[in-house]
Structure 1
Amino acid sequence: MKGVILAGGSGTRLRPMTHVVNKHVIPIYDKPMIYYPVETLVESEIDEILVISNSEHIGKYIQLLERDFDADFSYKVQTEAKGIADAVQLAKGFVDDSFAVVLGDNILFDDLSDEIQSFPTSDADAKIFVKEVDRPAAYGVASTADGEVTEIREKPDSPESNLAVIGLYVYTTEVFDRIESLEPSERGEYEISDINNQYAVEGTLDYEMISSEWFDAGTPEGVFQASKHVRDDHRDKE
C-alpha cells in the first residue's frame, strides 16, 4: 500500500502566519506539522509516499522530509486549489492498488496500522475515519445506522451525529474514475464528501472510530491545542 499527503491549499484560516509560508511547516510544538501525517503513514507500514503541494513550496518539502524519514518520497504540484478530490486525482499513476490519503493538517496519535492495512475488504471499497467531537457542525459529519455510514454532510447547521469525518481516507484506484465524473460543488471545488457519499449510497463505505486525540491544525486554536498535547505528552514521559 502507498500513501498520499495533501499539503497544498492557501491556509486562509491561519493567516497572517501563512501569507508567506505553507501552513504544513508551521511547528506543532517541536516538529513541523507535516511530520505528523508522515509518521501516521510510516507507522502504518507505508514507506512509499506522494506529497502534493503548491509549486512555491514543494521544493522545501524535498529538502525537509528526506533527511528525517526512512521512506521513498515522490512529489507533485497542485497548480490550483480545487478541492480535496481534485488533489487526490493527482495520485493517479503513482498508486497501483489501495492507498491511504491523509490531509497535511491532521494530527493523529493512534496506531492505525491494522485499520489501514486491513483494507480493502470484500464488502468495502472505501474507508473513512471518524471522531466524536463537541462541535460537529465545524466538520463533515457522518450519520450511521446498523454499523454503516448512511450519509456525510459538510458543516451542517443541525448535525445528526457528533461524528466528525477526519482527514484520513483509504481507497482503491477505482476512486479515480469517480473523481473524473464528479461535478464541482457550489463553491467551485471537487468535494471528497461527494465521493464518499457515493460509496455510502452503495453500502461499500467502511468507517473506523478514532479513540485517541485528533486535531485539525488548520486553525490557530487547532495548532495551539495540538502543540499543548504534544508538550504535555513529552513532559509525562520525562
Structure 2
Amino acid sequence: MKGIIMAGGSGTRLYPLTKAISKQILPIYDKPMIYYPLSVLMLAGIREILIISTPRDIDLFKDLLGTGRHLGIEIEYAIQDKPNGLAEAFIVGEEFIGNSSVALVLGDNIFYGTDFGHRVQEAASLEQGGIIFGCFVKDPSAYGVIEVDENEKPISIEEKPVFPKSKFAVPGLYFFDNHVVQRAKEVTPSPRGELEITSVIDQYLSRGELSVKLLGRGLAWLDTGTNESLLEASNFVEAIQKRQGLYIACIEEIAYRREYISRTQLIELARPLMKTDYGKYLMDIANEESSSVPFLFSS
C-alpha cells in the first residue's frame, strides 16, 4: 500500500497565521503539523508517500522532509493548483498510486492512542474495498457522518448534515483499493464546487465494499483547522509528552522502531538536534536497552 498526505488548502480559518505559510508547517507543540499525519502512515507500515500541496507551499515540505531517505522511506511531491476537494488527491496522485491500494490522511489531523498503530497497520493490509473509521463526537454536524447498524455495518454517509443520523464522525484517514482512482474521476462537484471524499466513500458503500472501524474512548482525534483547536492540540501533546516522557509523532523514533533505519542512523539524526529536548530524546532512544521502554504504537 502507498500513502498520500493532503497538505493543501488555503487555511483561511487560521488567518493571518497562514497568510504566508502552509498550516501544515505550523507547530503543534514541538513539531511541524505534518509530522503527525506522516507518523500515521509510517506506523501503518507505509513507506512510499506522496505529499500534495499548493504551488506556494510545496517547496517548504521538500525542504523539511526531502526524499525521506533519512527515515528509510520514499517521499514524492505533487501540486494541487486549487482546493478542489479531497477526492482530487486520487486523481492528482494517479501516477504515484499506479496499481497499488492507497491510504489518504489529511495534513491537519492528529491521532493518538495506545492501540492505534496496530489498527492502521491492519487497515494497510487492505486489498479490496475501502476502510474508514468512525469517531464518537459531541457535534457531528461539522464533519462527514457515518451511520452504522447494530453490527457496525455502514448504512449511510453524509457530509456535514444539519440533522446527523449518528454521533460518529469520519476522521481524515481513509484506506482504499486501486479502484479509488477511477471512482474519484466519476465524482461530480458538490454545491461547494468540490470533489467530496464522502462521494467516493458512498460509491464503496453502495457496492457493499465499505468497512467501518469504530474507534473507542481510548483514542484521541484532533482536527487542527482553527486557532482554538491548534492551541488545544499543542496543549494535549505537551501534557502527554511531559507526563509520560514518550513523544507523539516522533518520526525518527518510528523509523527506528519499525527498523526502517539503524541505530547508527538514528544517532546521526539526533546529533544536530542536541541543543533541544527533541534531539536528547532521540539520543536516549538510541542508547536505551532494547527492553527498557515499550514502543507504544500511537501517533
- TM-score tier, shorter chain, comes to over 0.9
**1:234 and 2:256 are equivalent in the alignment:** no
1:237 to partner: Cα distance: 1.7
**1:104 and 2:104 are equivalent in the alignment:** no
Alignment CA distance shift 1:113-1:183 (3 Å): closer
**1:87 and 2:89 are equivalent in the alignment:** yes
Report the counterpart of residue 142 of structure 2 in structure 1: 138
| TM superposition score normalised by structure 2 | 0.75
Instruction: Work out the CA distance in 2 between the residues paired with 1:3 and 1:87.
Output: 11
Report the counterpart of residue 114 of structure 1 in structure 2: 121
1:14 to partner: Cα distance: 1.2
Instruction: Work out the CA distance in 2 between the residues paired with 1:54 and 1:69.
Output: 24
Instruction: Work out the CA distance in 2 between the residues paired with 1:93 and 1:235.
Output: 42
Retained in 2: the 8 A contact 1:148–1:203?
no
Report the counterpart of residue 42 of structure 2 in structure 1: 42
- Deviation per residue, 1:158-185 (Å, 9 max, x gap): 1111100000001122111111121111
Instruction: Work out the CA distance in 1 between the residues paired with 2:127 and 2:178.
Output: 11
Q: How many residues align?
A: 235
Alignment CA distance shift 1:62-1:210 (3 Å): same
Instruction: Work out the CA distance in 1 between the residues paired with 2:183 and 2:43.
Output: 29
C-alpha root-mean-square deviation of aligned residues, in Å?
Answer: 1.4
Moved more, 112-121 or 69-78: 112-121
- Deviation per residue, 1:66-120 (Å, 9 max, x gap): 3763321000011111100112211101112111110000101221333322313
Instruction: Work out the CA distance in 1 between the residues paired with 2:132 and 2:167.
Output: 15
Report the counterpart of residue 195 of structure 1 in structure 2: 200
- Deviation per residue, 1:140-162 (Å, 9 max, x gap): 11001132111111111111111
1:134 to partner: Cα distance: 1.0
Greater strand share, structure number: 1
* Selected match of 2:166 from 161, 165, 176: 161
- In structure 2, the gaps of 5 or more residues are 246-299
Instruction: Work out the CA distance in 1 between the residues paired with 2:164 and 2:173.
Output: 20
Moved more, 20-29 or 10-19: 10-19
1:209 to partner: Cα distance: 2.0
Greater helix share, structure number: 2
Identical-pair percentage: 39
SS at match of 2:90: helix
Report the counterpart of residue 185 of structure 2 in structure 1: 180
Amino acid at match of 1:75: Y
| TM superposition score normalised by structure 1 | 0.94
Which has the higher Rg, Structure 1 or Structure 2? 2
Report the counterpart of residue 73 of structure 2 in structure 1: 71
Amino acid at match of 2:141: A
Report the counterpart of residue 32 of structure 2 in structure 1: 32
Q: After the TM superposition, which segments of 4 or more aligned residues of structure 1 sit over 4 Å from their partners?
A: none
Instruction: Work out the CA distance in 1 between the residues paired with 2:58 and 2:215.
Output: 30
